[in-house]
Amino acid sequence: MNLKWTFFSAALSVLVFLTACSRSTYQACRTKNDDLVTLDPGQSKAFLVNYEKKCNASGIKLEPTKIYRFSDFSVVSPLIDGSIDSDRRTGQPLGLKGWNTFQLSWFTWPGLIVGGWFRPLPSADWYELIGKVGDGAFFSLADQYMKEYSPKQEGELLALANDFPWFGRYENNQGRVRLTAECVRLRTDGGSGGK
């Protein structure tokens, strides 16, 4: 009985440690750019996201007093996550939504499910395009695509693929995409964003 609890507490300690390490890995995805473009209503700017990098700075400053839309998603070079180059549910090349654990062989599921908790946004699919504003929380750029979005805080828009942070998981990624951020209008409700 003691051996079982010892194993359980050791496994739990390792999981807590790995979670803390993965979160600190992604905390490094911060803006260091003081020369940011601020968009006014009607203005837009395109930026590139390299899926091999753990953090892509857009050069665009988002503000909670404005409403934005992400559009014009285009693949500049094919997206490949290791050996996965298509969504096996649809047969289509990888895009904004990435791929789902359950489209692979069942014997890979346990490792992918556990490993999934160490991605920057565990609730999103693998290789899904995600982002964050400044030091804020990660969100799915795929879910916000062609929808109105207002950040909770001011800062630079950062983007990356939702992937496991260690053991060469970003180094086996390939592909680049272009995405456009457009300022649609000013907020009229005086809110602080987060839509």
Phi, psi of 186 (to 5 degrees): -80, 150
**Nearest in space to 169 (alpha carbons), one of 74, 54, 6, 66:** 54
Burial class (CB in 10 A: 0-12, 13-18, 19+), 75: middle
pTM above 0.85, yes or no: no
**Nearest in space to 182 (alpha carbons), one of 144, 152, 153, 154:** 144
Domain locations in the chain? 2-186
Out of 3.20.20.10, 2.40.170.20, 2.130.10.10, 2.60.120.430, the CATH code matching 2-186 is 2.60.120.430
Print pLDDT tens along the chain (195 aa): 565 555 555 555 555 555 554 444 455 576 666 789 999 999 999 999 998 888 899 999 999 999 999 998 888 888 877 666 656 566 665 666 765 655 555 445 455 555 555 678 888 887 789 999 998 999 999 888 888 999 999 999 999 988 876 555 557 788 899 999 999 999 988 655 555
